[in-house]
Structure 1
Amino acid sequence: MSAMTNRLPTHHATTWGLLDLTGAPSEGPVAFRDELSPTALFDAYRHGLFPFPASSPEQRFVHEIVSEADVAAGLIQVFDGGDPYSVAWCSPDPRPVIFAASARIQRSLRQQLRNKVVWTTTLDRAFERVVEQCRADRESQWLTDDLVNGVIGLREAGHAHSVEVWEGEELVGGTFGVLVGGVFSADSQFTRRSGAGKVAVFDLMRRLADAGGIAVDAQHDGAHARLLGAAPIPRADYLALLREHAGDPVVLSTDALPAARLAA
């Protein structure tokens, strides 16, 4: 079993809690802050935010210019730091959420699992490999070295998790993200075989539901999130969901399991 060890320091734990999202933009950044330490990351996820670091100096400049009016109006907060505009923090409204108990795998994927492939899924067996695969070949490199180091720190503290999909000894798909009590915020996924990334997400949802978890936050709405079963809910409702379930004692199973069970 994978227990949350909660070894992160708490002396900055109120920073994101002071951020008022009532009038914050529904899309794009709601704040800028350049700290990506495990403590700052976990505190952000606890308060419904996720990071989007600039992939280049040009992207950092775009952050500043595009948000200039909202910053001046007080709708986007800029925290002091060495270069706050290098990391944007987002909290979309509405938020695409998949409720674990009602998640259903797609019919075509069920048929694939029953008839064509023999895959095994694991939890946290290869976290760093999953993260690296998620950022491989991406043109917009939001998974910067600083962010990768931060999420690895979260994994070491027991707050970040990965699901791996294996075809024999080959890693063919995976996903990773951050668990806050009964809510999992899914950061990214990758696929090296058709459907393997989706299987990783559905496996995560099954493990979460089996452990008493509530929901998976897909972060970004769109066709892909909708195919996975995500439905948009107001940001205020998502923040309330986090507050209600942040202390849930959810412990995900680390057993190696046949992916075909998801087709049942």
Structure 2
Amino acid sequence: MIRRHRNWASLDLSRAPADGPVAFCGDLGPENLLAGYRAGVYPFPAAEPPLRDLNEALFEELVADGQVAIVGDDNRDPYSVAWWSPDPRPVIPVDAGRLGHSLAKHLRNRLSWSTSLNRAFGRVVEECRAGREPRWLTAELVDSLNRLNEHGWALSAEVWEDGELIGGVFGVRTGPVLSLDSMFHRRSDAAKVAIADLAARFRQVGGRLLDAQWDSPQTRLLGATPVPRARYLALLQASPDLPPPADLTLPARRLAAAGTG
């Protein structure tokens, strides 16, 4: 039986796949996007029609069996956007999102490097889109992310060198979790510095975890540890929202002085 939900509030992931889409929903509007993150899922739009058709071909049986939900009651094509919630979920505790010894030593000599919050959100997103295929950061998703940024839910951390943007990361915050969507760098280790900066800022307002979303050797190197999806969801559902971090521009070398991991 196809599990149809009007919204994310009633989504039950107890039978959902661990390593595949857990739902399909074509609504990428900002309200629905934030509600999805609150439910512990994140979107992966099909950038081209063949990818949409592949979603239906690969997963229609799981949809019919009730393991994968269809969310939304409007006329949007649900198979145009797959929503994921891996089990286990790779997360980085904010007090572990620190710099390694070699990078910290390197950063102490980078007097021209600084970091900021939300100073160039749109530019960071566009840098993360550039040259990446499939282009899951579709125009509709980017528009909704920009609108969430305007209201303080989507955040970016930027790394600068003498006024040039050399690295960044962006994501969406819900309760004590900040879910990292993508990052980029133009200088070696600039993306790592952006993540450490975002972890430090989020920790200051009571944040607990950075969600790395996809488990990989790269995310493990950033300090990610896999936790059961049920534990991750329980944390989201039991915790209130936090105030946004301060958006001051700060010297990057302070992250080296704060300690290493």
Residue 144 (1) aligns with residue 146 (2): no
What does residue 257 of structure 1 align with? 250
User: Matches of 2:222 and 2:243 in 1, distance apart?
Assistant: 22
Structure 2 CA distance, aligned partners of 1:248 and 1:129? 26
Question: Do the aligned partners of 1:173 and 1:193 also contact (CA within 8 Å) in 2?
Answer: yes
Shift of 1:139: 1.8
Distance in 1 between residues matched to 2:214 and 2:112, nearest whole Å:
30
Q: Which moved more, 1:94-103 or 1:49-58?
A: 94-103
Any idea what SS the aligned residue of 2:43 has? strand
Identity rate, percent: 52
1:140 deviation in Å? 1.3
* d(CA) in 2 for partners of 1:49, 1:120: 32
Normalized against structure 1, the TM-score is what?
0.91
Give the Cα separation in 2 of the matches to 1:145 and 1:229.
31
CA deviations over 1:150-191 (Å, ceiling 9, x no partner): 111111122111111101111000011111122101110011
Do 1:99 and 1:216's aligned partners in 2 also have CA atoms closer than 8 Å? Answer: yes
Whether contact under 8 Å (2:110, 2:253) holds in the other structure is no
Q: CA RMSD in A?
A: 1.5
Q: Which runs of 5+ in 2 are unaligned?
A: 1-5
C-alpha distance in 1 between matches for 2:202 and 2:176:
8
Q: Using structure 2 for the length normalisation, give the TM-score.
A: 0.92
Query: What are structure 1's unaligned runs of at least 5 residues?
Result: 1-13
Structure 2 partner of 1:168: 162
Aligned partner (choices 11, 19, 23) of residue 15 of structure 2? 23
Determine the structure 1 residue equivalent to 2:42.
50
Task: Name the count of aligned residue pairs.
Answer: 251
TM-aligned CA deviation for residue 15 of structure 1: 1.2
Measured in 1, the distance between the counterparts of 2:145 and 2:97 equals 26
Q: Is the 8 A contact 1:181 1:250 kept in 2?
A: no
Q: CA deviation at 1:116?
A: 4.8
Partner AA of 2:49 in structure 1: P
For residues 219 and 196 of structure 2, the distance between their equivalents in structure 1, rounded to whole angstroms, comes to: 12
Match of 1:85 in 2: 79
Specify the alignment match of 1:210 in structure 2.
204
Distance 2:29 2:154 in 1: 13
Is 1:219 the counterpart of 2:213? The answer is: yes
Q: Which amino acid aligns with 1:58?
A: P
Tell me if the contact between 2:152 and 2:244 (Cα under 8 Å) persists in the aligned partners: no
